[in-house]
Amino acid sequence: MREVCIAGTGSTTFGRHSAVTPQDLAARAARAAVLEAGIARSDIGAIYVGNFVSGVLTGQEVLAGLLADHIGLAGVPATKVEGACASGGIAFRHAVMAVASGLCEAALAVGTESMTHADTATVTAALNCAMDHRSDGAAGLTYPGLFGLVWRAHAERYGTSREEVAAVSVKNKRNGLRNPLASMGADLSLDDVAQSKPIADPLALYDCCGISDGAAAVLVTTTERAKEAEGLPIRVLAAAQSSGPARISGLDNLLSFPATVQAAQRAFAESGLSPTDIDLVELHDCFSIAEIVDSEDLGVVPRGEGGRWALDGRTAVDGEMPINASGGLLAKGHPVGATGIGQIYEVVQQLRGTHPNQVKEAGIGLTHNLGGTGISCTVSILGRPDV
Amino acid sequence: MREVCIAGTGSTTFGRHSAVTPQDLAARAARAAVLEAGIARSDIGAIYVGNFVSGVLTGQEVLAGLLADHIGLAGVPATKVEGACASGGIAFRHAVMAVASGLCEAALAVGTESMTHADTATVTAALNCAMDHRSDGAAGLTYPGLFGLVWRAHAERYGTSREEVAAVSVKNKRNGLRNPLASMGADLSLDDVAQSKPIADPLALYDCCGISDGAAAVLVTTTERAKEAEGLPIRVLAAAQSSGPARISGLDNLLSFPATVQAAQRAFAESGLSPTDIDLVELHDCFSIAEIVDSEDLGVVPRGEGGRWALDGRTAVDGEMPINASGGLLAKGHPVGATGIGQIYEVVQQLRGTHPNQVKEAGIGLTHNLGGTGISCTVSILGRPDV
């Protein structure tokens, strides 16, 4: 496998685009990525689109083919990939594999989702397509319900406090205020979070990411070709994927998602790096408590101390392990299929030193995209070319 | 890229399994393929599931993760791929790429779909997810309508007759009678087809494939490992994919689908073969007229003569270019995501010499899987190891 770089990036804002189709959002992000990469269209040999519920919510499938045609690339193999909330990360990994294996010189990875046109009950039902209907779904579980249970388990095992969990939301919502792509940034106190509207006890409104529309894209190519790009090329040091238990009864406990642990192990093995080499992380904070569990599963924060680290500012932009400097899902929103590529987009800007909420001396960044009840996960590691 | 073989195959019958979920159908086919391959589970490094509308029709997504968990492979990267009716072919190509690139030693490609539990109007709406809603969909087009238009264009340009088109259905329905996996085989006359219930003029009922449930699976591995398999390993000589115009207004005419032409060109280039090297074809006869156009697009029948060849028996099992000896979609039914893998399954049995409707001296076979209004297509070429 040859080394691969990200040469171009594009993203819409994440928020409300209820009059725009998911394929048009995808086209906007994709065109920007292709333009920034300065790559000839004829070099693009593969297109991957990460999307979760456009069939269910908009009645439109074949998004990859539609995108290829819309951006003048009809003929190029175009594939939609789906792995619930990890669909974007899976699209990225496949674009990387297409170039790394020598199959083509450049590949486009795009994530897209449209959700805000539908009412909350419809969106909740659509999101539940990621659960095994015969067990977790049949039991009436929802995602806020699941992460409410995760919180209770974490609090019981490690004594994690309400303030510690709220500290994640306060941090991410504040980070989001500096990110023009994030529509849900806010300046909140710990009390504001704790006192917000109850959703699924103990989760309150500000512990939850918001329903959003959006798309993001990256153009992946060889190290050689990436030199012709407008912006600094960013090296792909690892692009790992795992699956995990399909239902929560398959988990040993609610303190860890095996798919995250396994994808992270693979990414570190692939890159020859360890958690201490990581300068910043964009991880899947679909809920405040999810960031705590994810950070521990990734090994970037000690087991059981995720909440403590957030409250102590150790995961802040100027902390020792900055997490979700972009604002994460909590401040950007979670247009499901777009999220994984959006994370890659954010880390690329950080490693280029051009992020609006810049982490100092950012050389190596990690992204983590988790699907369903841990049924799928991707972990990617990106590096500045001089690192 | 290293050479890759199919070492194991599995398939449910295609027909009515309305009480079985698409993930359970997938698991049945996958278990059979793994067993037949005699490959250690720990060698399986990738799972691809082709599926089109399980989200829309059953409310269940993440089929790849569910399958991995159900067959004891939780942890293995598991990805659902979607490209409308070509989803199965796309899954196969990605399993091939995973092994050919050296990413893993063995990969599982599975296609699955459940449709018969829903009423016809619901299924028709679901299938229309493969159309661009803002053009073809908005104009009220359906797939029978599209292929009715294709027929009219072909008849006008080449003088194709009702008898020639019906000859495709008569052949495939009869072939299906010999295939235990096909539930819609029948012994019909040309008149029976022509006089069957009108669907979308000039298409009648027996010109159309049926709504079905089913799953098929193949296990792909290295040539070395494939030698340990129970059955004869079959070489993958090409696995090509293309996209095409998203709407029919993007086609030059209704006589050809550019995605088929392009995927076929790539497959022949990849294998170093030409249409005259092909001993049998399984192609996407979603409608009788589709077989005629597909066979011409693939170059295995001269342009404009597809109907004539069918009527003259030149595409029969004992003809010079046997097409759809399995019965094709017309006799097997079309459980959308399963179809592309089902075609691979059929060709493997032919090349092993174990097919219930065996083509004589079958050394090299081609499969063709077409999605939507030609928005995606795969063409694969398989060969006996001694050819």
B65: nearest CB among A62, A246, A258: A246
Task: Please tell me which residue of chain A has the smallest CA distance to B61.
Answer: A129
Which residues touch B50 (CB under 8 Å, ≥6 apart)? B80, B81, B82, B87, B88, B89, B90, B91, B92, B109, B110, B111, B112, B337, B338, B340, B341
pLDDT band at A328 (very low <50, low <70, confident <90, very high): very high
Pairing of strands A78-82, B78-82: antiparallel
Residues A138 and A159 both lie in one domain? yes
pTM: 0.98
pLDDT of residue A73: 97
Its ipTM equals 0.98
pLDDT of residue A69: 97
pLDDT of residue A311: 98
Alpha-carbon gap, residue B114 to B151, rounded angstroms: 29
Q: Are A96 and A4 in contact (CB under 8 A)?
A: yes
Q: Which residues of A touch B94 (CB under 8 A)?
A: 79, 94
CB contact under 8 A, B74 and A21: no
Q: What is the dihedral of CA A291, A294, A299, A302, to 10 degrees?
A: 50
Alpha-carbon gap, residue A302 to A280, rounded angstroms: 16
Q: What is the 3-state secondary structure (H, E, C) of chain A?
A: CCCEEEEEEEECCEECCCCCCHHHHHHHHHHHHHHHHCCCHHHEEEEEEECCCHHHHHCCCCHHHHHHHHCCCCCCCEEEEEECECHHHHHHHHHHHHHHCCCCCEEEEEEEECCCCCCHHHHHHHHHHHCCHHHHHCCCCCHHHHHHHHHHHHHHHHCCCHHHHHHHHHHHHHHHHCCCCECCCCCCCHHHHHCCCEEECCEEHHHECCCCEEEEEEEEEEHHHHCCCCCCCEEEEEEEEEECCCCHHHCCCCCCCHHHHHHHHHHHHHHCCCHHHCCEEECCCCEHHHHHHHHHHHCCCCCCCHHHHHHCCCCCCCCCCCECCCCHHHHHCCCHHHHHHHHHHHHHHHHHCCCCCCCCCCCEEEEEEEECCCCEEEEEEEECCCC
B129: nearest CB among A21, A61, A372: A61
Catalytic residue among B85, B208, B286, B377: B85
Q: What integer is the mean pLDDT of B116-121? A: 96
Of chain A, the percentage scoring pLDDT greater than 70 comes to 100
Which pLDDT tens digit goes with each residue over B236-250?
A: 999 999 999 999 999
Residues A170 and A70 both lie in one domain? no
Residue B126 lies in a domain: no
pLDDT of residue A267: 98
pLDDT band at B376 (very low <50, low <70, confident <90, very high): very high
Q: Are B78 and B86 in contact (CB under 8 A)?
A: no
Task: Please tell me which residue of chain A has the smallest CA distance to B52.
Answer: A61
Which of B56, B62, B113, B270 would best serve as a mutation to test chain A binding (most A beta carbons within 10 A)?
A: B62
Task: Please tell me which residue of chain B has the smallest CA distance to A262.
Answer: B75
**Tokens standing for residue B274:** 């030409």
CB contact under 8 A, B1 and A68: no
CB contact under 8 A, B77 and A125: no
pLDDT of residue A229: 92
Q: Which tops the pLDDT comparison, A134 or A288?
A: A288
CB contact under 8 A, A61 and B101: no
Task: Please tell me which residue of chain B has the smallest CA distance to A2.
Answer: B101
> Shortest CA distance to B338 belongs to which of B218, B231, B220?
B218
Closest Cα in chain A, distance from residue B264 (Å): 12
**Tokens standing for residue A373:** 């009840």
CB contact under 8 A, A83 and B101: no
Asked about B129 being catalytic, the answer comes back as: no
CATH code of the domain covering residue A174: 3.40.47.10
pLDDT band at B149 (very low <50, low <70, confident <90, very high): very high
Residues A248 and A221 both lie in one domain? no
CB contact under 8 A, A132 and B66: yes
pLDDT of residue A237: 98
pLDDT of residue A305: 98
Run of H or E including B127: helix B120-127
Query: For B90, how many CA atoms within 13 A lie in the half-sphere containing its CB?
Result: 36
Residue B46 lies in a domain: yes
Which of B53, B61, B142 would best serve as a mutation to test chain A binding (most A beta carbons within 10 A)?
A: B61
Run of H or E including B282: strand B280-282
Report the interhelical angle of B288-298 vs B143-158 (nearest 10°). Answer: 60
Residues A326 and A294 both lie in one domain? yes
Which of A80, A128, A243, A375 would best serve as a mutation to test chain B binding (most B beta carbons within 10 A)?
A: A243
Residues A93 and A148 both lie in one domain? no
Single out the residue in A234, A268, A301 at which a domain terminates.
A234
Residues B95 and B161 both lie in one domain? no
Q: Which residues of B touch A246 (CB under 8 A)?
A: 62, 65-66, 68-70, 74
3-state helix, strand, coil in chain B (%, to 5): 45, 20, 35
CB contact under 8 A, A62 and B76: no
Which of A23, A79, A127, A128 would best serve as a mutation to test chain B binding (most B beta carbons within 10 A)?
A: A79
Residues B35 and B155 both lie in one domain? no
Please count the residue pairs, one from chain A and one from chain B, whose beta carbons lie less than 8 angstroms apart.
203
CB contact under 8 A, A250 and B69: yes
Three-class SS state of B177: helix
Residue B213 has φ and ψ, to the nearest 5°, of: -115, 155
Structural domain of B221: 4-119+212-234
DSSP, res B211: P
CB contact under 8 A, A101 and B242: no
Q: What integer is the mean pLDDT of A25-49? A: 97
Which residues touch B207 (CB under 8 Å, ≥6 apart)? B165, B166, B169, B193, B196, B199, B287, B288, B289
Q: Are B366 and B379 in contact (CB under 8 A)?
A: yes
> Shortest CA distance to B337 belongs to which of B135, B67, B77?
B67
Residues A12 and A95 both lie in one domain? yes
Residues A268 and A163 both lie in one domain? yes
Which pLDDT tens digit goes with each residue over B172-211?
A: 999 999 999 999 999 999 999 999 999 999 999 999 999 9
Q: How many structural domains compose chain B?
A: 2
CB contact under 8 A, A75 and B376: no
Residue A119 has φ and ψ, to the nearest 5°, of: -75, 165
CB contact under 8 A, B79 and A76: no
Task: Please tell me which residue of chain B has the smallest CA distance to A378.
Answer: B77
Q: Which residues of A touch B130 (CB under 8 A)?
A: 61-62
CA quadruple A129, A132, A138, A142: dihedral positive or negative? Answer: negative
* Residue A230 pLDDT exceeds 90: no
Catalytic residue among B17, B154, B284, B334: B334
Which pLDDT tens digit goes with each residue over B277-297?
A: 999 999 999 999 999 999 999
Residue B29 lies in a domain: yes
Alpha-carbon gap, residue A137 to A130, rounded angstroms: 9
Of chain B, the percentage scoring pLDDT greater than 90 comes to 97
Single out the residue in A179, A201, A234 at which a domain terminates.
A234
The letter for the amino acid at A74 is: A
Q: Which residues of A touch B59 (CB under 8 A)?
A: 56, 125, 128-129, 133
Residues A70 and A171 both lie in one domain? no
* Residue B64 pLDDT exceeds 90: yes
Residue A177 has φ and ψ, to the nearest 5°, of: -60, -25
Residue B128 lies in a domain: no
Q: What integer is the mean pLDDT of A217-226? A: 97
- Mean pLDDT (chain B) is 97
A66: nearest CB among B98, B126, B246: B246
CB contact under 8 A, B371 and A65: yes
Residues B250 and B329 both lie in one domain? yes
- Catalytic residue positions of A, numbered: 85, 334
Q: Bridge partners of A5?
A: A221, A235
* Residue B230 pLDDT exceeds 90: no
Residues A200 and A298 both lie in one domain? yes
Q: Are B284 and B371 in contact (CB under 8 A)?
A: no
- Mean pLDDT (chain A) is 97
**Tokens standing for residue A141:** 């579980």
Closest Cα in chain B, distance from residue A178 (Å): 34
